[in-house]
Amino acid sequence: MRRPQLAWAKRLTVLIAAVASVLGVSAVNGPAANAAVYGSCSTSGCSDAASANSTWSDLGYPTARGWYDWPDGECSYAGGEFYNNDGQLPSGDTFYEYDVYPRACGAHRDAYRIVVDSNTGVVWYSPDHYTDFYQL
């Protein structure tokens, strides 16, 4: 029996998702529409996020996407520009995203991010890939 052919758009979507998965890149770059934003950070992981922020700051907050050498011999990923598509963070500003936890270069990324407002220097921690934001 012949399998039904996928429409070209569906095949393209599957291909993009597969490539993004292999590269460790999320196909979704914006926060959830119902993201919560908190003016302070009082959840677990805040101290780890602050420590990661300090290291990223020491590296000059690189804006190019990619793996960067971390002080302990591992790597961490700078995700490039964060587009704030749902407007949870201040509108009109430019943001960059960075992983919180280092790992081996090229390893699968987790959901923990910091987002830096390059206009104001304010840093946000998201422990759940942009569902919640906590200001550091």
Q: Is residue 67 part of a domain?
A: yes
Tens-place pLDDT, residues 29-86: 444 456 789 999 988 999 999 999 999 999 999 999 999 999 989 999 999 999 999 8
Nearest CA to 102 out of 90, 94, 92, 114 is that of 114
Q: Is residue 121 part of a domain?
A: yes
Distances (CA, A) of 41 to 19, 22, 88: 34, 32, 16
Q: Is residue 70 part of a domain?
A: yes
Q: Is residue 3 part of a domain?
A: no
The whole domain housing 105 covers 8-135
pLDDT for res 36: 86
User: Model's pTM, two decimal places?
Assistant: 0.74
pLDDT at 101 over 50: yes
Q: Is residue 28 part of a domain?
A: yes
Q: Is residue 2 part of a domain?
A: no
Q: Is residue 106 part of a domain?
A: yes
What is the domain-level CATH number for residue 62? 3.10.450
Q: Is residue 1 part of a domain?
A: no
Number of structural domains the chain divides into: 1
Tell me the one-letter amino acid at 67: W
